[in-house]
Structure 1
């Protein structure tokens, strides 16, 4: 997993945190003292954002001795980043690098738990990330072994009930029109009941997105549509977590759509910054 945040974004993060110098370090007169800094996992986690953390340290004036890549699984106590340089440089980068890694690793860790709960099933995360943090969120999702469901509104066809409220024609009509206008796109339709799912599938939808339907409901939809050629992809969405991912997989679902990795506490990273 390579760095995806451009230098301009990292410069902006440093400017937010250290706009006019580090007053405490400067007034104490310790900025030129040689120092070392290391990051360690306080608990088991999947890393993400370590490349950006290392780059922040370098941009602040430090040097990197070692860094584990995003996607690495760690046990509690494992050191994953070591650096050295002037104390002033390491103090400038310390908190921003730590916080970025903690938030990104929290997302990656939750994504990995869902992936591990349903082996062989694709876990796709929605675009419901914190506004302004999409780049880092996407990287964290991928570090956890999941994929993105949608990066935005511009590249995928997903018909919600809120769209269908404006359509008077039957599903067969507007599905055919969508396919004529965008023949290279899969058409995803979100539904809220078994009957609606079956009707939309028989009308020609490629993917049926089940909004907050149970594993038993998903199994019923799969059973009722398996005679179609090809059968639709039945994808639960809304409320999919590590607690129920295995149940959806057992029901026959091969795609799980979730926002759960974005919501939860950050990972806990211990930083040691001391004289070299």
Structure 2
């Protein structure tokens, strides 16, 4: 499982620490022993507990986590318990809470989408794009994986993507040249072509694309494209966009092989409740 490194966690501590308390002196100020607990305020899929554990560890606290990223939890379930000086706990609880709130919100939305899509089509693959919230990509990808999505299609190496703009501004001949160049440069790397219309999807298939990514097409448009491509093209068809949970079933039964949704990255925060107790 992916995990944010200490550099990123130190940045969170520097930005979100309790006013008046620095990371450097948090382990030395106020020796009163306290425990802070973080609990689930609602049922959902959690993510980021390992990073929260590391945040408190960096501040000199003893920490236990009660679940791993990707676990399903219920209301009031214990997630994290950290013990240490009050100054250390007040430096760490807000960064830890914020991180778990955002990551668990993404993980829960992803898990709900996966469940809705697979209820309609058990074989559908759900993916989240590697292009995520600026500055939050590592945590976003971890949260998506925790919710049951994939963030890389197929085996290594990662496919090369030709964007839809190449069709729009340069035409099919230019796309053909790009595909041929990629085949020559790296024959083992799959080639994906992004399109916005049925005509461009058919052209991409004729050009030898291994994957065709349908950008922001409606379910009925995806279905029409899938039917047209079913006449001999054997590649992977991807429906991509900010697909909401309410349309997961419609897309899952449209004929696409993969649903790639960015919706979870904009999900509401999970409810994470914090309480302090004196030892």
**TM-score for the superposition, normalised by structure 1:** 0.88
Q: For structure 1, which segment, 166-175 or 202-211, has the greater mean C-alpha deviation from structure 2 after superposition?
A: 166-175
Structure 1 position 267 matched with structure 2 position 270: yes
Matched, 1:82 2:81: yes
Query: Structure 1 residue 226 and structure 2 residue 230: aligned?
Result: yes
Corresponding residue for 2:41? 42
- Where 1:106 maps in the other structure, the secondary structure is helix
Q: Whole-Å Cα distance in 2 between the matches of residues 162 and 77 of structure 1? A: 48
Specify the alignment match of 2:207 in structure 1: 203
Q: Distance in 1 between matches of 2:19 and 2:74?
A: 38
1:254 aligns with 2:257: yes
CA-CA distance at 1:21 after TM superposition: 5.1
Residue 270 of structure 1: SS of its match in structure 2? strand
Match of 2:179 among 175, 182, 189: 175
Deviations along 1:138-183, one digit per CA (max 9) or x if unpaired, are 1111111111158xxx954111122332357264444223222221
Is the contact made by 2:152 and 2:158 (CA closer than 8 Å) also made in structure 1? no
Question: 2:218 aligned with 1:214, yes or no?
Answer: yes
Shift of 1:134: 1.2
Counterparts of 1:128-167 in structure 2 under 5 Å? 128-149=131-152, 156-164=159-167, 165-166=169-170
Q: Distance in 2 between matches of 1:19 and 1:243?
A: 39
Aligned CA distance change for structure 1 residues 33 and 249 (closer, same or farther; 3 Å): same
Alpha-carbon deviations, 1:221-271, whole Å to 9, x = none?
222222325x22111112312111211111222201111111122111001
- Judging changes above 3 Å, is the alpha-carbon distance between structure 1 residues 12 and 212 closer, same or farther for their aligned structure 2 residues? closer
1:218: how far off? Answer: 1.5
Taking structure 1 as reference, are residues 178 and 74 closer, same or farther at Cα in structure 2, changes over 3 Å only?
Answer: same
**Does the CA contact (< 8 Å) of 1:218 and 1:234 recur in 2?**
no
User: Number of paired residues?
Assistant: 267
Deviation at 1:194, TM superposition (A): 1.6
For residues 55-91 of structure 1, the C-alpha deviation after alignment (integer angstroms, 9 at most, x for no partner) is 1111112111343110011122211112222222211
User: Could you list the runs of 5+ residues in structure 2 that have no partner in the other structure?
Assistant: none
* Residue pair 1:39, 1:82 contacting (<8 A) in 2 also: yes
C-alpha separation in 2, matches of 1:87 and 1:20: 14
Q: State the shift of 1:274 in Å.
A: 2.0
